[in-house]
Structure 1
Amino acid sequence: MTPTRQALLDRITDPDRAYDTPEAELRPLQLAAAQELFAERITQIPLLKQRAADAGIDAIRTPDDLLPLLFAHTVYKSYPQSFVDQGRWDRLLQWLQTLSVADVSRVEVRGVTDVDDFLERLWAAGHGVLASSGSGGKCSFLNHTPGDRELKARHFKHTTAWPLARSAPDRALFWLGPIKGFNSAVESAQINRVNWGRPGAMHALGSPLRIGEVNRAIALRKRIADGSATPGEIAAAEADAAAKAEQGRAELLALADLILDHRHEPIMLSGLWAQHMTILQRARERGIPDGDFHREAIVMAGGGVKGIALPPDYKEQVDRFYGAVIRPGAYGMTELAQMMPRCEAGRYHRAPGLVWLVSDERGERLLTAEHDADANGQATGRFAFLDLLHEGRWGGLISGDKVTIDFNERCPCGRHGPTLLDTISRYAASGGDDNIGCAGTIDAYIRGAVGA
């Protein structure tokens, strides 16, 4: 790893300084590190070389040079779905190679039966590929090296629960999800087990996360929508889903009882809003009042409300139930190794090794304090970044997230800015245009590279 990149990433070991660095000091170092990384990756990833040629960029000197080099967030699921549906794992490897630094072409894929088997083969060969759940229709596949995973674990060690608590491996951990599987959420649970968990005190749902099952469910929904699914297929899927739901509820209730039994200890608990409501309801059944948890308990909640019937004040109910515990927050995504913690003022801060960019909706022009900020020094646009941590792939991405950035020199918490407001949403979910200008040319290049 190049010196400037390494120095910026190493700053995370002192998070109080790392998350309070003046922009005037940090931005020149970030641009220098971005250029170091670009000079390496342009010789390793043909797609990046093509992006640079199309934009006429031979070096990164300013933030404007960086934006055209970022990939659209859809690129990591740009493979033809037929590669998965027809078991063309050799072709899927060929596609993955267009986005990877290391050579994945020699991974043995004969006899692979599904996506999870494919991922197991990659991991056995030293390629830590993580898959998104594919809830939007297709899985993303993102390559990581062993070094990436080590640096990500270090970042989480100093960032999770900052600035409210510091990690130490002395807590009972409760993760209201699977602890096995090739997914970034599972990886986060495993990292927290090392950084926070007392030996033998990790508790999670027992069933592994199987990406193949998610894919099959998505495929069936599509066949139902176009009328090609048979009644037998639908009935079998409904019966399987009902059985899994019953098993999952039983596991969750058992975990809820265990959590309530440990409520007077400084536990760490992470789950979806609906799962926290299940714990609350179980506490009501047991006669446990609100605010009966240890004040040093760490409780994290978020997501999981789509299609779930919850009361309008579910967040307020959960807050009252746990009481005055530690409630940290963070902003991140599967494609990002360095999550962004939320400060006491409810703003998200960035690590020195993470280059922030906010563009217009199409991802074609950077927003700046000079030309786009309102009277409060804020502007709303599409979040983009270069994550300097990644060695397995190019870490530059234009996301699907709509964010508001505050360009002011100081955050209301007193630390240096810029910061992101806690108003993040998806362009697609908010009815906005999620078409990124570069997406079409990137997809066309990849299709040409794999002959699809």
Structure 2
Amino acid sequence: MTPIRKQLVDMILDPDLAYDLPASDVEALQLRAAQELFEERRAQIPLLARRAEDAGIERIGRLEDLVPLLFAHTVYKSYPPSFVEKGQWGRMLQWLNTLSVADTTGVNVEGVKDVDDWLARLWEAGHRVLATSGSSGKCSFLNHTVGDHDLKKRHFKYSVGWPYVRSNADRTVFWLGPSRGTSSATEAAQFNFENFGKPGQTFALTDQPLRIADVSRMAAMRKKMADGSATPDEIAAFEQEAARKGAEGREGLLKLLDTILDRRAEPMLISGMWAQYMALIARARERGIGDGAFHPDTVVNAGGGIKGVALPPDYKEQVDRFFGQVVRPGNYGMTELAQVMPRCEAGRYHRAPALIWLIVDREGERLLTADDGEDGVVEGRFAFLDLLYEGRWGGLITGDKVTADLKPRCPCGRRGPTLFDNITRFAQPGEDDHIGCAGTIDAYVRGAIAA
């Protein structure tokens, strides 16, 4: 890792300082680190070099210079679907290689049966590829090195729970989802277990590996059902399988919920979705347990999980009342990002020094500044350069619509820009999210794998 990048990445070891630095001081270092990284990566990733050449970018002298070099989030699923459908795993390696620093084309794929086998072979070869499946069922694949994984875990150690708690491996930890697999969610489960959990006192909904092939198949079937292309037999088989898995999941969830309730008098860390917490409340009521029965040092992380689930309008308020005076931190992150952003007491998200924020217009073509908003507050598309990564180029334009306060100080008193806790998507599920550079970069990828 280049010297200034390492300096910025290592600042997280003192999170109280890292999340309270003057923006001008941080951004001066960030620009120098971005130039270091750009010089290194354009020699390693031809896709980035091509993009820089076409955009006329020779060096990073200002934040605006980074914007044309950012990859659209869709590039990490830009492979032809036929590569997966026909089991062309060597071609998939060739595609992944266009987005990776280390050569992936030599990974042994003989005998690979499905995408989970393919991912396992990559992990065995030292490529910690994470997969995420969208509503279409088509996965994104993002390469990491073993070092990226370790630094990411370290970042979670100092950021998750900040500024309220520190991870000391002294809690019972509950993860209301699968704990093993190749997704960012299962990765986060393992980070929480290692950073917060007492030995032998970590619990998950299931320890069976989350299979990406199953997740993708279910997502693709839901899409077919929504657009009317699924046959009656396909729908019947899908519903039968969903019912079976639902029954199995319900049994496992009730067992886990009872364990949580049994330990409610001790400090815990619980991570789950809103619908699961509503199930916890229902189980508590069945057992005669009222609101506010949890240890005050319990940490509760909540989010997501409401699509297609009927919840009362006040579900968040019900969950708050049920847990009572516990610790309620928050984080903003995504699979493409190594450095999650913690939420402060004022309800704002803060950045680590090694994460460059770039708030751009909807098309992803122009950097927004304080002059584009009122009183330093701007609304735009979230983009970033994550300086931590060694496995790939960490510059990305996301699909997230954010409100950023670019004034020099947060209402919590700390210095630096912040994001409001009102993040949404520019496109709804099933809609196209047009980003100006997406088509160009996809064309680069297609040309590289066709060569």
Bin for the TM-score computed over the shorter chain: over 0.9
Counterpart CA distance in 2 for 1:287 and 1:272 is 23
1:56 aligns with 2:60: no
Letter in 1 for 2:367: L
Which stretches in structure 2 are left out of the alignment for 5+ residues? none
Q: If the length of structure 1 is used for normalisation, what is the TM-score?
A: 0.97
Partner residue, 2:286: 285
Spell out, residue by residue over 1:169-223, the C-alpha distance to the aligned partner (whole angstroms, 9 max, x if none). Answer: 0111100000111000100110111110000111002232111012222333455
1:299 aligns with 2:303: no
Counterpart CA distance in 2 for 1:123 and 1:215 is 20
Q: SS of the residue aligned with 2:444?
A: helix
Counterpart CA distance in 2 for 1:175 and 1:48 is 38
CA RMSD of aligned residues (A): 1.5
Q: SS of the residue aligned with 1:140?
A: strand
Letter in 2 for 1:400: G
Spell out, residue by residue over 1:55-87, the C-alpha distance to the aligned partner (whole angstroms, 9 max, x if none). Answer: 100110100111111000101011111111111
How many residue pairs align between the two structures?
450
Partner residue, 2:366: 365
Contact 1:268/1:299 (8 A) holds in 2: yes
Partner residue, 1:180: 180
Contact 2:332/2:341 (8 A) holds in 1: yes
How far apart are 1:367 and its partner, in Å?
Answer: 0.4
Q: SS of the residue aligned with 2:139?
A: coil
Partner residue, 2:40: 40
Spell out, residue by residue over 1:107-148, the C-alpha distance to the aligned partner (whole angstroms, 9 max, x if none). Answer: 111211111111011101111000013334311100000100
> Cα distance 1:224–1:293, how it changes in 2: closer, same or farther (>3 A)?
closer
> Cα distance 1:30–1:68, how it changes in 2: closer, same or farther (>3 A)?
same
Query: Which range is displaced more, 232-241 or 155-164?
Result: 232-241
Letter in 2 for 1:408: K
Letter in 2 for 1:204: A
Counterpart CA distance in 2 for 1:227 and 1:158 is 47
Spell out, residue by residue over 1:208-241, the C-alpha distance to the aligned partner (whole angstroms, 9 max, x if none). Answer: 2111012222333455466664433332221111
Contact 2:179/2:204 (8 A) holds in 1: yes
Letter in 2 for 1:176: L
Q: SS of the residue aligned with 1:356?
A: strand
> Cα distance 1:449–1:385, how it changes in 2: closer, same or farther (>3 A)?
same
Counterpart CA distance in 2 for 1:45 and 1:237 is 41
> Cα distance 1:406–1:225, how it changes in 2: closer, same or farther (>3 A)?
closer
Q: SS of the residue aligned with 1:5?
A: helix
> Cα distance 1:441–1:312, how it changes in 2: closer, same or farther (>3 A)?
same
Letter in 2 for 1:386: L
Partner residue, 2:105: 105
Contact 1:373/1:407 (8 A) holds in 2: no
1:425 aligns with 2:439: no
Counterpart CA distance in 2 for 1:361 and 1:271 is 31
Partner residue, 1:356: 357
Kindly, what percent of the aligned residue pairs are identical? 66
Partner residue, 1:13: 13
Partner residue, 1:390: 389
Counterpart CA distance in 1 for 2:20 and 2:315 is 34
Q: SS of the residue aligned with 2:383?
A: strand
Counterpart CA distance in 2 for 1:36 and 1:26 is 15
> Cα distance 1:80–1:432, how it changes in 2: closer, same or farther (>3 A)?
closer
Contact 2:174/2:271 (8 A) holds in 1: yes
Q: How do residues 207-356 of structure 1 correspond to structure 2 at under 5 angstroms?
A: 207-224=208-225, 229-356=230-357
1:68 aligns with 2:90: no
Counterpart CA distance in 1 for 2:303 and 2:344 is 17
Q: SS of the residue aligned with 2:133?
A: coil
Counterpart CA distance in 2 for 1:22 and 1:434 is 34
Query: Which range is displaced more, 210-219 or 57-66?
Result: 210-219
Q: If the length of structure 2 is used for normalisation, what is the TM-score?
A: 0.97
Q: SS of the residue aligned with 1:260?
A: helix
Counterpart CA distance in 1 for 2:223 and 2:319 is 35
Contact 1:356/1:386 (8 A) holds in 2: yes
Q: SS of the residue aligned with 2:148?
A: helix
